[in-house]
Structure 1
């Protein structure tokens, strides 16, 4: 009889704890997940912080926290933690146990392996009774985000047509001729105006000579990126890794130019997240402008908004001049050459940086071709 009574009492207690935990276990339970920093570069190790607060006397015997995150956020291996990855998202699962009025903080180390705009959306909390007989869950909205900048590549900036760009400073190899400062004479070159002819020097040398002017380097750099990974591409990009490298080349060129005091602009036949038009940023200078470019590059979506030839012609129709234009592209064609010539006729230089078929590590390799397609002529 005693054993039967004991079984009955145990059954009542088990049933009572089921009712109590089912009703109260997730009450006054607060969960926060946030990135410790809001911005970083690709490859930086950062921290994702989880904070749980049980603001009641009843303990939480077990708690499973589940969410989906981008596969481009790589987690370091930890205990009480599981990650299963798909092609786009990974399922992130954590296990906790909290006593009454207990606060717990867990820090996960993650490394973004691709630039982007990562948002935390929702998280699912599941808990139950002491013996796992029942479970209940709630969803909590999250609002934090992380902007991962492209890692600026080391680019051959010195191989641009204007090899000694120093912003507004006077430099050894200069760009824009100053007609008020004559420093000597040089041989006549195709494209020189007859107004520049130095007749005295011509008489002495016996060959046609023109004035050699001093120069100032008040020029700007315009970076143009082509999202097409091959000529004749349909709407979808098949080799996204190569275009990602192109974005990092663009970031590297912007960093190199701004560090030399230049103005830098950027455009591409790609939209930003949440936008349908192609991105276009007029030249500006300084660290604030550079990090604005980084952020916009981070938010680029790899899809085509227009043909790259149309983008080049649109730039040519703006009729700006005195800019050094860098075109980053996977291919070149007669139609692109024609559009580039229009940019040069406006008084700009155009250089082509060819993207390789296979992704390379952060820097240009010797086999990557850097072609000078034009030089400014006054």
Structure 2
């Protein structure tokens, strides 16, 4: 081989190197998502990474560096992934999952990675950096694909046997009261106005027909309802986690008994739609999942004080439902609770997550 031939080969190799490197990232797309948006603590699930090469040229060397929450743990059978803890993104600790691959022309590469998360919370998949190299691995080009895909981990279940026992007696009192509370939905007839009924119960059509004031007569409610009031104000981070776990277990118990319940909390909810935690009356898997997702998204910041939350929740709600107030220690707010119980004429069932159950 003479010098000229060698020079031509070197020039061709260099040219091919530059062309491969110049177009290495062309037509390359990336996405990552969780197969499940909500999961239980330590429950295995899969992160699905999809890389598609839409051009006619292969990608000879591709280094994939995915940014994930530092709390993620790889499954025991996951091989070929380099997992490293990174510096925090603001206050959010992050990690990277790195791997190297080769992608053929017009190929879609899909990788399912089994992971789990032990701690309650809302987590975000932040995307990835893709680095493509030339034929000889001398030079490379990179691009970042930002993402913001959420994963919500529910609170852990905890033992609430003492709460169930005490709440059983409390429900007994409510069960008696529910048969003396009229249900404003089911009208079974009319009777003469005595002056003690609210004006909204007057039936003007029946009054005109009979020539005297008549009011609607309601049926008696036979459906048990509850309201969960979750107060984290003044609680430490550890106490707040206990509150969330106890609330989750109570919600599970109410759902098992097919008792309709609403949910409200003054914990800040990490969500794009609203920072306020409220779920109206309901029952069933969808309703329960909405409550558990609020608990999973809750952080330690407080949106309103105890008094305002109780006033807004109890105002005008003399409907015979049971009110379950869950906090770290209700004795810290004894005066506030007694004031709003007296004002609303409602007795709260108090659950202290750091002490014995209080009634």
Using the size of structure 1 for normalisation, the TM-score is 0.71
CA-CA distance at 1:173 after TM superposition: 9.3
RMSD between aligned residues = 3.1
Contact 2:63 2:132 in 1 (8 A): yes
Q: How does 1:231-270 map to 2 (within 5 A)?
A: 239-270=236-267
1:48 aligns with 2:47: yes
State the TM-score, normalized to the length of structure 2: 0.75
- Give the SS at the match of 1:261: coil
- Please name the residue that 1:284 is paired with: 282
Aligned pair count reads 312
Q: 1:119-159, CA deviations, whole angstroms, 9 ceiling, x for partnerless residues? A: 43432211111222211112234464433333443423422
Alignment match, 1:339: 336
Residues 66 and 123, structure 1, Cα contact 8 Å, conserved in 2 = yes
**Whole-angstrom distance in 1 between the partners of 2:69 and 2:176:** 46
Report if aligned partners of 1:61, 1:98 keep a CA contact under 8 Å in 2: yes
Q: State the 1:256 CA deviation.
A: 0.6
SS of corresponding position for 1:120? strand
1:29 partnered with 2:35: no
Contact 1:269 1:306 in 2 (8 A): yes
- The correspondence of residues 105-144 of structure 1 with structure 2, limited to 5 A, is 105-142=110-147, 144=149
- Cα distance, 1:318–1:84 mapped onto 2, change above 3 Å: farther
User: Match of 1:84?
Assistant: 84
Partner of 1:201: none
1:316–1:342: 8 Å Cα contact kept in structure 2?
no
Supply the distance in 2 between the matched residues of 1:263 and 1:348 (Cα, whole angstroms): 18
Residues 206-355 of structure 1 aligned to structure 2 (within 5 Å): 218-230=223-235, 239-273=236-270, 274=272, 278-333=276-331, 336-345=333-342, 346-355=344-353
Task: Assess if the C-alpha contact under 8 Å between 1:72 and 1:112 holds in 2.
Answer: yes
Deviates more, 1:13-22 or 1:115-124: 115-124
Q: 1:158 aligns with which of 140, 158, 164?
A: 164
User: SS of the residue aligned with 2:249?
Assistant: helix
Q: Look up the SS of the partner of 2:51 in the other structure.
A: strand
Is the 1:160–1:351 contact (alpha carbons within 8 Å) kept by the matching residues of 2? no
- Could you say if the C-alpha distance between residues 79 and 288 of structure 1 is closer, same or farther in structure 2, counting changes exceeding 3 Å? closer
- In 1, Cα distance between the equivalents of 2:351 and 2:251? 14
Alignment of 1:179-198 (within 5 A): none
Is contact 1:49-1:105 (8 Å) kept? yes
Deviation digits for residues 255-305 of structure 1 (CA, Å, limit 9, x no counterpart): 111221212121111222246754233332233321221222222232111
Equivalents in 2 of 1:227, 1:96: separation in Å? 48
Counterparts in 2 of 1:177 and 1:331: CA distance versus 1, 3 Å: closer
Q: 1:249 to 1:7 in 2, by over 3 A?
A: farther
Match of 2:152 in 1: 147
Q: 2:188 corresponds to which residue?
A: none
What is the CA distance between 1:10 and its match in structure 2?
4.7
Shift of 1:160: 3.4
Q: Secondary structure at the match of 1:302?
A: strand
- CA gap of 1:175–1:128, structure 2 versus 1, over 3 A, is same
Shift of 1:17: 2.7
Q: Which residue pairs with 1:197 in the alignment?
A: none
